[in-house]
């Protein structure tokens, strides 16, 4: 099985920006990510997440987006991040969308917003780790 610790680019930042408005999901996903060796920075809505992204761009290796959040949802947040990267010629960040919506709808959103991968809630630790490693392999190869 793929493992985050086997990934070739471990010198890269190990910080994740986790955007989630549900306190229980935030707690669970934080624990999963910490167990994988990531340092987690949290935002409870898309607006707060975008501000953290702008102020700390170089610190984050990946950004985990919730599909439905107040102020700005994960899809809109992803679109703004991609636009910012393009406008300033920045290195592409790994974006992963986690949502309780239907798989088909999430896939459409990911395509529209240039999101690297997605998973349907509830997410298992193994499923999240596989998704992250798979997506990292795609964008860092």
CB 85, CB 120: distance < 8 Å? no
CATH class for the domain made up of 15-140 = alpha beta
Domain boundaries, the chain: 15-140
Q: Quick one: pLDDT band at residue 137, thresholds 50, 70, 90?
A: confident
Q: How far apart are CA 58 and CA 75, in angstroms?
A: 21
The pLDDT tens digits of the residues spanning 3-25 come to 555 554 545 668 999 999 999 99
Q: 112 or 102, which is more confident?
A: 112
pTM for this entry? 0.89
DSSP label of 55: H
Per-residue model confidence as pLDDT tens digits over 33-45:
999 889 999 999 9
């Amino acid at each position: 099985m793929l493992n985050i610790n086997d990934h070739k680019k471990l010198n890269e930042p190990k910080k994740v920006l986790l955007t989630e408005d549900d306190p229980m999901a935030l707690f669970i996903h934080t624990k999963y990510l910490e167990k994988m060796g990531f340092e987690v920075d949290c935002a409870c809505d898309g607006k707060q997440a975008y501000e953290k992204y702008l102020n700390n761009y170089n610190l984050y290796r990946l950004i985990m987006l919730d599909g439905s959040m107040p102020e700005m949802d994960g899809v809109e947040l992803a679109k703004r991040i991609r636009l910012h990267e393009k406008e300033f010629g920045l290195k592409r960040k790994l974006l992963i969308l986690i949502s309780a919506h239907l798989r088909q709808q999430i896939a459409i959103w990911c395509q529209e917003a240039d999101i690297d991968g997605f998973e349907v809630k509830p997410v298992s630790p193994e499923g999240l780790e596989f998704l992250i490693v798979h997506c990292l392999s795609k964008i860092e190869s």
